[in-house]
Chain A
């Protein structure tokens, strides 16, 4: 099973949640925003949202900008 995260095809094990994925990537969930298949995923749903085969996940954070 695989999904796309930030444009990269990635393999995953069943049962992985978005919150679990962020922890695996050592990303603080408090500083990121997540898009799941083009929709905004609320932060309080990270840990209860399972990743499904073919999902397209984008993880964003704030960077310097004008």
Chain B
């Protein structure tokens, strides 16, 4: 059975998106991406430090991967739009993950500013991926505005707490016609597997791999978990019952 992820008119085999942040040594990123077998990688935009002659993170990302710049650092829609425009000008396509955060403690995104940025950037021809607090009405508005997918968080960024917002994400998957990518909070392969079992189109994670003791092995674990969860979802789960014997219930010698 052919199963691919369709985002902004492109087909992808992998449903695991990874971030390129928080690596102590960025040269490991290539191996992580290859081991995770992911097709889409997020990056951030920052001012160049002229005193450091370090490489652009792009040099560690295989050329055939889709780059998804984020708008981290933006506190308003206006700032996010500015970051998106500069990112596009660098020349790695028109994708952008909208991330607008004012909340310094929990790093929760501002859905209204995110919607505003989505509306503006869709009109400018971007493929827009809004990262948001799970909310059906806002998710619907983002979809109506033309978002390529909607990316609700499972738990605060980098918290590794898993799918704390599970029921709302489930409802969004059920009710919205755009792909739902669970982004943030996923700390263990089982969390990613669970999101995929629920029918999420994909998951996006960074810290869980980058901050593990063995990032390459963790990348492999997440690859397997995402594939297992997707296959389980596609197979269709057996219904929950009180009890149902797996073997015949007649007596052994009957």
Closest B residue to A7 by beta carbon equals B47
Residue positions of B touching A, CB distance < 8 A:
19-23, 26, 29, 42-48, 50, 53, 56-58, 67, 69-70, 72, 82, 85-87, 89-92, 157-158, 184, 204-207
Contact B43–A60 (Cβ < 8 Å): no
Q: Given A64-B44, A65-B70, check contact A35 B86 (CB 8 Å).
A: yes
A60-B48, A64-B57, A66-B22 known; A40+B90 contact, CB < 8 A: no
In the complex, what distance in Å separates the CA atom of A43 from the CA atom of B44?
A: 19
Residues of chain A within 8 A (CB-CB) of B42 are 65-66
How many contacts between A and B, using CB within 8 angstroms? 102
| Contact call B89/A43, Cβ cutoff below 8 A | yes
Flag if B87 contacts A33 (CB, 8 Å): yes
Residue of A nearest to B47 (CB): A6
Task: Report whether B21 and A66 are in contact in the complex, using a CB–CB cutoff of 8 Å.
Answer: yes
CB-CB under 8 A from B90, the residues of chain A are: 31-33, 60-62
Whether A66 and B157, one on each chain, are in contact in the complex, defined by CB atoms closer than 8 angstroms, is yes
Verify B48–A32 contact, CB threshold 8 A.
yes
8 additional A-B residue pairs with CB within 8 Å, beyond A63-B57, A65-B206, A66-B207: A6-B48, A38-B82, A59-B48, A61-B45, A63-B56, A64-B21, A64-B26, A66-B44
Chain B hits for A33, CB < 8 A: 45, 86-87, 89-90
Interface of B is mostly: mixed
CB <8 Å contact, B47 and A60: yes
Residues from chain B with a CB closer than 8 A to the CB of A42 are 89
- 10 pairs across A/B with beta carbons < 8 Å? A33-B86, A43-B89, A58-B47, A61-B46, A62-B69, A62-B87, A63-B21, A63-B43, A64-B19, A65-B57
Interface residue ranges, A against B (CB under 8 Å): 6-7, 25-27, 30-35, 38, 40-43, 58-66
User: Per a CB cutoff under 8 Å, which of A6, A40, A64 touches B29?
Assistant: A64
> Contact between A66 and B26 (Cβ–Cβ < 8 Å)?
no
Write out the residue numbers on chain B whose beta carbons fall within 8 Å of the beta carbon of A66: 19-22, 42, 44, 70, 72, 157-158, 184, 204-207
- Considering the chains assembled together, what is the distance between the CA atoms of A40 and B90 in angstroms? 10
Interface pairs A-B: 5 shortest CB-CB? A65-B44, A66-B19, A66-B206, A33-B86, A64-B21
Q: With a CB–CB cut-off of 8 A, which chain B residues contact A64? A: 19-23, 26, 29, 43-44, 57
B-side contacts of A25, CB under 8 Å: 48, 50
A31 touches B58 (CB 8 A): yes
A24 CB to nearest chain B CB (Å)? 10
Contact of B85 among A27, A31, A40, A43 (CB under 8 A): A40
